[in-house]
Structure formats: structure tokens, C-alpha cells
Amino acid sequence: MDSQESEKVSIAGAPGVDTDQRFECVGCGACCRGRFVPLTLAEAVTWLKRGHPVGVLLEAFDDSLWPVDSPEYAYNAGRSAPVIGGSGTLRVTVILAANAIPECPNLQKDGLCSVYLERPMVCRIYPMEISPFIELKPQAKDCPPESWQQGSLLASDQGLAMLVQQSRQTDRDDARRKVAVCESLGLTVAGWKGNGLVIHQPSVETLLAACESAEVDANPTDQPWQIKAEDPPLRAYLNAQSVPMADSPSDDYIFHAIPR
């Protein structure tokens, strides 16, 4: 995501990246359109202060998805926080995401980014994947073919590797505070990881106030959470775990089912 032609970016090596894969951003701006842009908590505050909305995407899981001693569980647990889910504990991951649909509000008519020097971390990282469990697939990215045929070798770009690490660390650092922000706003319905996301859309003013007033060392409260799920076997599992289900129609959020 680099719409500043004067400063082209190459991306760094990571698990699953071919050692001979090259990349160079050609500044086409395609990645600034038609998507949500995940933000850190600090980036969300900056975004909201510019008057642009930020969505709150929520997903939950428990230790039924991965063994608790697995790398997958460790990665996902690290970027989540424990909450009350019925008689047990769930973990909730909060994704603060700017709406770039149909296009980012910072994308200028000339295709350049108006906040280039302050652009979010994911904009600096794209098209690289941040999750260590998602393989980089050039064909699944918005970058045109020529961008993959020039530039530096991914495996040798230490600058991008550091950005990816920084992004993962910030995800961990922000996790509890973001859940506390949600609880302060009563946003306590989440999708189930892999089944769907619940998307809340608080007003700019409301979310900004909650983000700014959340303590750095905030912890989730004892508020009970509900799960929105449409998959019958998953619903049966959650019912067996006494997890409260959000079954009543609601205008407070959108449920975005994830295709299998």
C-alpha cells in the first residue's frame, strides 16, 4: 500500500515466501480501495480525529480451535483478551478497521496518499501477510503483475520484516485495552473465529472518546459476552458450553459470515 511514487517499498521475507520472489510497489493505489484497513489503537485515534469512521470487528474463540500448546493458539491468544462467555472463558480479538470502501478517505484524486508519512502500519506492510499462518499468495493480492517482477528479493528486506514484527507486537500490546474499549461501549457480541465477524459501527465521536479514555493497563470487566453464529454444528457446540447466543435480530451490528 504505497501510493507515493517517490518512495517505493520492497517487502521482506517471511514464512511461506519464495526465496526468489521479488516485489516493488508501483504506486497503483489498488490496495487503497474496496477494503477495511486494520489500525492499531493509536492509529485509530488519529484516524477518528480526522473525522473518518472506524469499524469495530469482533471475533471470539476458545481452546477448541487449536491445542493450547500449539503455535496457532499462542499467536491468537496473544492478540486477544479473556472475557466471560456463559459459565466459562472465551477469548475476544478486536480489530479496529478503517472503512476504505469504496476507497480510502485519504486517497487523493492523483492516486497518492494524503497522509503518506503518517499512513497506518498495514499500509506500509501490504501486500505482505502479517499472520505467520497465512501464506503470501501474489495472485490473491491487488498488486499488478509487474510489481512482482521487479524490486528486491522479499527474503532480504529486513525493514519490512521489522515492520511485521512491530505490527504483531502492537497487536499484543493493544489486545486488552481494545476489549476494554468495547466493554465500555457495550459492544459485547462477537462472531466465532472462522465462522463470521460481528461488525459494530459506533459514531466517530463515541469511539474516539472511548479509545482516548481507555487506560493503558485496562483490563476487561466481568460483562457477559454473546456469540453470533449461524453454523448448526458450531451452535450446538456453543450451546453445550453454555455460551450465550445472540439470536435476536439487531440493528446494532452486522454479521459477516466467512465462506468455508
155 binds ligand SF4 (CB under 6 A): no
189 binds ligand SF4 (CB under 6 A): no
Pick the stretch among 29-37, 167-175, 211-219, 227-235 that binds ligand SF4 (CB under 6 A): 29-37
* Nearest-10 crossing angle of helices 158-184, 41-49: 70
- Please answer whether residues 57 and 95 qualify as being in contact, where contact means their C-beta atoms are separated by less than 8 angstroms: yes
Residue where the block lists cell 472475557: 83
Tell me whether residue 35 or residue 91 sits nearer to ligand SF4 (CB atom). Answer: 35
Of 10, 147, 167, 226, the one binding ligand SF4 by CB under 6 A: 147
12 binds ligand SF4 (CB under 6 A): no
Report in angstroms the alpha-carbon separations of 130 from 12, 16, 161, 162, 217: 11, 12, 10, 11, 25
Distance CA 87, CA 228 (A): 17
Of 56, 92, 94, 100, the one binding ligand SF4 by CB under 6 A: 100
Alpha helices in 9-120, H assignment, sequence order: 41-49, 71-78
The residues in 114-143 that bind ligand SF4, with binding defined as CB under 6 A, are 115, 119-120, 123, 126-127, 142-143
Binding site for ligand SF4 (CB under 6 A): 1-3, 25-32, 37, 100, 104, 106-107, 113, 115, 119-120, 123, 126-127, 142-143, 147
